[in-house]
């Protein structure tokens, strides 16, 4: 299935932006590595001098310290802009898909996974599911039970404009069998027919969400 993602720059030449203060890691083969050379730029105000499309991502040229730097989109943010927020639903059970996606996101997010699940956590999860601008459900082979499937179908019926779905065929060496993949594809078709959006991987989810990160700068 083609999710129809279009690579569109979020920022333009001349935009004055801030280097995000909350970035710490880059992902390399699933391992998190610190990026100390970038640390000195956190919180610094910079101006975009060039926009470059490279393969499946966008990078921005800035001129700092007497040189030219090319940095990816997720390292920048606007001042005083209210961010949209995505609810990260779907497979838990020690799956790392949320960590991988969060590392790519500029949009706000709510992660419902906690170490100690309490009734208060359930109340907060329901509240966030209602209030978030988007509800994402990512299903992986670590899934136990089918409640997340019920949630995404329910959301695609009740609030299709904010419902996002993706299933990953592999997770930490585990895979879905052919019958499970067939069923998940049927769920994806159902979500699309109800008006929701379906994605094939975490990269395309991040690109789509990051193009809608600011309520005051981006419209649907």
Q: What is the average pLDDT value for the chain, to the nearest integer?
A: 83
The per-residue pLDDT for range 75-97, each reduced to its tens digit, is 887 765 567 899 999 999 999 99
Task: Decide which of 185 and 28 is more confident.
Answer: 185
Phi first, then psi: what are they for 176, rounded to 5°?
Answer: -80, 150
3-state helix, strand, coil in the chain (%, to 5): 30, 30, 40
In the prediction, which pLDDT does 3 show? Answer: 47
| Per-residue confidence (pLDDT) for residue 1, from 0 to 100 | 44
What is the Cα–Cα distance from 94 to 206, expressed in whole angstroms? 21
For residue 101, give both structure tokens.
Answer: 């996606």
Can you give the pLDDT at residue 6? 60
Which whole number is the average pLDDT over 40-52? 86
Whole-model pTM over 0.85: no
- pLDDT for 155 equals 94
**Among 26, 60, 25, residue whose Cα is nearest residue 46:** 60
Is the model more confident about 216 or about 159? 159
47 backbone dihedrals φ, ψ, rounded to 5°? -120, 130
Kindly state the tokens that stand for 155. 């959301």
Structure tokens at 100: 């991988």
Please provide the distance, in angstroms rounded to a whole number, between the alpha carbons at the two ends of the chain.
22
In terms of Cβ atoms closer than 10 Å to its own Cβ (0-12, 13-18, 19+), residue 110 is middle
CA torsion sign, 88 to 92 to 94 to 95? negative
Fold annotation for 85-210: Rossmann fold (3.40.50)
Instruction: Please give the pLDDT value at position 181.
Output: 96
Q: What is the pLDDT of residue 54?
A: 76
Mean per-residue pLDDT for 106-113?
88
Share of the chain above pLDDT 90, in %: 48
Report CA dihedral (36, 38, 44, 47) to the nearest 10 degrees.
180
Closest CA to 134 of 218, 41, 19: 218
**Confidence bin at 64 (pLDDT 50/70/90):** confident
Domain boundaries, the chain: 16-77, 85-210
Q: Is 90 in contact with 137 (CB distance < 8 Å)?
A: yes
């Amino acid at each position: 299935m083609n999710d129809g993602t279009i690579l569109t720059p979020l920022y333009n030449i001349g935009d004055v932006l801030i280097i995000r203060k909350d970035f710490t890691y880059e992902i390399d083969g699933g391992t998190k590595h610190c990026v100390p050379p970038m640390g000195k730029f956190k919180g610094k105000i910079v101006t975009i001098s060039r926009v470059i499309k490279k393969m499946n991502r966008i990078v921005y040229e800035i001129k700092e310290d007497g040189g030219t730097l090319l940095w990816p989109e997720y390292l920048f943010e606007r001042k005083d802009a209210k961010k949209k927020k995505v609810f990260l639903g779907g497979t838990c059970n020690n799956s790392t898909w949320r960590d991988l996606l969060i590392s790519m996101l500029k949009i706000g997010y709510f992660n419902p996974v906690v170490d100690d699940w309490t009734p208060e956590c359930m109340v907060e999860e329901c509240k966030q599911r209602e209030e978030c601008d988007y509800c994402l459900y990512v299903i992986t082979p670590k899934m136990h039970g089918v409640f997340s499937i019920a949630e995404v179908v329910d959301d695609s019926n009740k609030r299709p404009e904010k419902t996002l779905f993706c299933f990953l065929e592999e997770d930490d060496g585990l895979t879905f069998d052919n019958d499970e993949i067939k069923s998940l594809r049927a769920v994806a078709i159902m979500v699309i027919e109800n008006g929701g959006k379906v994605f094939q991987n975490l990269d395309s989810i991040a690109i789509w969400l990051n193009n809608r990160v600011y309520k005051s700068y981006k419209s649907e």
